[in-house]
Amino acid sequence: MRFLLGLLVGYTLRGKQKLLITVLVTLALVVYVVLSAVVLPAIALLALSLDVQRERRSRPAQTKVPVLKGLNYQDAERKLHAANLKIRVLATRYDSALQPGLIIDQTPAPGEEVAVGYSVGVTISKKDCVGPGP
């Protein structure tokens, strides 16, 4: 680019070779337009693409949380193991409408995406309601 500009300035100062000056100006403009409008944005997009790919690879693998409500602890544990997740009992709660030992709530909700190996918290129904004494 410097060479072309040097030639242009030299020939323009002398006032000779008008056809050569026209060709060089045209060539300089084409090179400038191609560099600024095509090549530089392409390089920037390539660098951005590589950054995005590297960032995606650095994230932990994701999996969806299966539906556990209504299952017993053992079935839920098997289902979570198949999805590469762990189970953790958060609470037990008396619920007269359900048979004891069934999962009545879970966190995170079914269908949410979590990291592989994440622990899913469950609330399990228990046999009897133990209240405060008299």
The token duo for 66 is 């299966």
For the structural domain made of 62-126, what CATH number should be given? 3.30.10.20
Assess whether pLDDT exceeds 70 at residue 86. Answer: yes
- pLDDT tens-place string over residues 98-133: 788 899 999 999 999 999 999 999 999 987 765 554
Domain range list for the chain = 2-58, 62-126
What pLDDT is recorded for position 35?
A: 76
Q: What is the pTM of this model?
A: 0.55
**Which residues are 122's β-sheet partners?**
89, 106
Q: At residue 57, does pLDDT exceed 60? A: yes
Q: Using an 8 Å Cβ cutoff, are 4 and 35 in contact?
A: no
Residue 54: both structure tokens together: 């590297």
> Please, which residues have CB within 8 angstroms of residue 72's CB and are 6 or more apart in sequence?
101, 102, 103
Give the pLDDT confidence of 63-85 residue by residue, as tens digits: 999 999 999 999 999 999 999 99
Q: Say if residue 89's pLDDT is above 70.
A: yes
Q: What is the pLDDT of residue 99?
A: 84
Pairwise CA distance, residues 56 & 95, whole Å: 43
The Cα–Cα gap between 60 and 65 comes to 15
User: CA-CA distance, 79 to 91, in Å (whole number)?
Assistant: 19
Query: What pLDDT, in 10s, does the model give residues 10-45?
Result: 767 676 667 777 777 788 778 777 778 888 888 889
How far apart are the C-alpha atoms of 104 and 96, rounded to whole Å? 12
